[in-house]
Structure 1
Amino acid sequence: MFGLFQSKPKPTGALAQMPPWPAPSTPLDQLNLLAVDIETTGFDAKRDHLISIGWVPINGGEIQLSGAGYTVVKSEHTVGESATIHQLTDAMVAQGLEQQAALEAFLAALESRVLLAHFASLETSFLDVLCQKYFNAPLRAPVVDTFALERRHMERMGTYPRGEDLRLARVRERYGLPWYGNHNALSDALACAELYLALRVHTKANTLKALHNSQP
């Protein structure tokens, strides 16, 4: 019974120092985002491990490559068969940046921005685990998901997509965007950033709140 009245955990360290997130009323033309992609050893954030992270900022309607970042994240665990996907070996991961330092670099890039990702629940689940581990609380940043935006767009057009139809490379192909190699966190973050700008053309939303509330 008393658990119902327990306060939420208070963030510490770099997470506690984050400035306010963009307001829901922020116009899209003024909205700053950070396109993010991660590579992991699997899909379960409680069991598997984040081994690289890449990010690319977007200011309003412009990609800012000067602010892009990428790091391999150190892990004492083997990458196993996942190496065939992301091409990161045990030796490369063993020499990566310490988890907390990598997380702090990412949080610095995310300051005052919305997190942008393709099928964002993967990114947020792993980042929440690391934030809880080092800073006592989940990330809880506002999120824009290009996977969800494209699904809604297709449904508005009377097309009901299957899983393969919503893969990042397949969606980019439909919008005439160039092909990039998959499963590199930096190039996938850039691919997501470009897709977001293409998707904006097809939405009537003009604020962050409207973008979240858009329905098929």
Structure 2
Amino acid sequence: MRARLPVLRRSRRPDHYPPGPLRDLAAAPPPPGSTPVSQVELLALDLEATGLDPRTDHVLALGWVPVVRGRVLLAEAEEHRVRPPAGVDVGSSATLHHLTDDALSGAEALPDVLPLLLGALHGRVLLAHHAPVEVGLVGAAAMTSYGARPPLTVVDTLAVEHRLRADVHGEVWGSLRLDAARQTYGLPRYAAHHALTDAIAAAELLLAQVAELEVRLGREVLLRDLSPKRSG
């Protein structure tokens, strides 16, 4: 299933959301698009799940790491395994992420982990590679827990890389997968399909992309130069 993020628009008022984590998140929005990226706080996120469709699939692991003033804050990184709902097994997805039913049997339930993620997003921009996957799955989880989708400003490193690689005719050279994009900038190779590792990989990729954009633009990169989208 292909998902698209809506264009950036005016944020909804906090009282649009039910009391709790979503309202708290709406009360602490990220900075405006005119803010230099060097002053923007981001939270790189990656999810492992039974599949990519938020209507039918379930989150199995979340990993996130803050990116603050051009630094990846590994000391504040978190990873959580998630126990799927009763009657749901990981199925063939285990061949990718190696998270088995046995390994997840004692893990946390998603409603217990979700407030931690939403708290980490306070005042921050969500960062992910192919962000519609993360946004869709987190949104579906929030709908189940709170009856609304979280208010998010989102930067997608895949979309940024697409713009950087597009020629004058709009054609794109090379693969836009996370590992392939990192190789373009000489970044090290990491094992794929591990939530925290992939979140760190996306964070490092963004810093390399921002450095490339600074050279091309001849000025400091602003948040709006990353084409952020609004969700929720």
Structure 1 and Structure 2 fold alike (TM over 0.5): yes
For residues 188 and 23 of structure 1, what CA distance do their matches in structure 2 show? Answer: 27
Q: Deviations over 1:176-198 (max 9, x none)?
A: 00010000000000000000000
Correspondent of 2:22 among 15, 27, 30: 15
Q: Residues 8-44 of structure 1: CA distance to partner in whole angstroms, max 9, x if unpaired?
A: 9623321111222222222111010000000010111
In the aligned structure 2, how far is the partner of 1:73 from the partner of 1:21? 27
The answer to whether 1:25 aligns with 2:40 is no
% identical equivalent positions: 38
TM-score w.r.t. length of structure 1: 0.89
Tell me which residue corresponds to 2:60. Answer: 51
Structure 1: state its 5+ residue gaps: 1-7
Aligned match of 1:119? 130
Residue equivalent to 1:169 = 179
**Higher mean C-alpha displacement, 67-76 vs 30-39:** 67-76
Asked if 1:211 corresponds to 2:216, the answer is no
CA distance in 2, matches of 1:133, 1:158: 43
Q: Is 1:190 matched with 2:197?
A: no
CA deviation map 1:130-176 (0-9, x unaligned): 111112211130001000001000014778336x7000011111110
Residues 43-192 of structure 1 mapped to structure 2, 5 A cutoff: 43-75=52-84, 76=86, 77-156=88-167, 160-161=171-172, 165-192=175-202
C-alpha offsets along residues 85-109 of structure 1, whole Å, 9 cap, x if unaligned? 0000001222111111110111111
Per-residue CA distance 1:34-80 (angstroms, 9 max, x = gap)? 00000010111010101100001000211111110000011131000
Q: Is the 8 A contact 1:35 1:193 kept in 2?
A: yes
Q: 1:9–1:136: 8 Å Cα contact kept in structure 2?
A: no
Q: Give the direction of change, closer, same or farther, for the CA distance of 1:168–1:150 in structure 2 (3 Å limit).
A: same
Specify the SS of the correspondent of 1:166.
coil
CA contact (8 A) 1:28 1:208 kept: yes
Q: For 1:147 and 1:140, locate their aligned partners in 2 and report how far apart those are by CA, in whole Å.
A: 21
Q: Is the alpha carbon distance of 1:159 and 1:96 closer, same or farther for their aligned partners in structure 2, counting shifts above 3 Å?
A: same
Corresponding residue pairs, total: 206
Provide the secondary structure at the position in 1 that maps to 2:190.
Answer: coil
Moved over 4 A (4+): 156-159
Using structure 2 for the length normalisation, give the TM-score.
Answer: 0.83
SS in structure 2 at match of 1:202: helix
> Please, which runs of 5 or more residues in structure 2 have no aligned partner?
1-14
- Using the alignment, how far apart are the partners of 1:140 and 1:167 within structure 2? 27
Following the alignment from structure 1 to structure 2, what is the Cα–Cα distance between the partners of residues 26 and 68?
A: 24
